[in-house]
């Protein structure tokens, strides 16, 4: 399922990952390099499987571990109303 940031959310890359700003709530969220790779993949042309593959290739983790990380991040960002289905 394609994903996008909610309209009032900005994403800025940092040295350690990225920061998301929810302009409506005035809250910042920080994601590490792993989270930024997942977000970049999902916000581009990729889906969850592509994000899992990116984690496996970049960080050498197992596919199940990567799948859990992707699912967890998507669940947290969706619950926080930062990430929505497009």
pLDDT digits (tens, 9 = 90+) for 30-74: 999 999 999 999 999 899 999 999 999 999 999 999 999 999 999
Residue 24 domain flag: yes
pLDDT at 83 over 80: yes
Strand ranges of the sheet holding 17-22, from the earlier edge strand across to the other edge: 9-14, 17-22, 27-32
Domain count, the chain: 1
- 4 has a pLDDT exceeding 90: yes
The CATH number for 9's domain is: 1.10.10
Using CA atoms, how far apart are residues 86 and 64, in angstroms rounded to an integer?
Answer: 26
- Domain annotation covers residue 54: yes
Q: Of 50 and 2, which is predicted with more confidence?
A: 50
pTM: 0.92
Nearest to 1 by CA among 79, 80, 81, 78: 78
Is 86 a member of any domain? no
Residue ranges making up the domain that contains 34: 3-81
């Amino acid at each position: 399922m394609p994903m996008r940031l909610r309209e009032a959310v900005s994403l800025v890359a940092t040295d350690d990952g990225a920061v998301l700003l929810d302009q409506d709530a005035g809250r910042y969220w920080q994601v590490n390099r792993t989270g930024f790779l997942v977000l970049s993949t999902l916000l581009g042309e990729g889906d969850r499987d592509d994000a899992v593959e990116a984690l496996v290739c970049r960080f050498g983790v197992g596919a199940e571990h990567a799948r859990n990380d992707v699912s967890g991040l998507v669940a947290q960002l969706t619950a926080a109303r930062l990430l929505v289905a497009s």
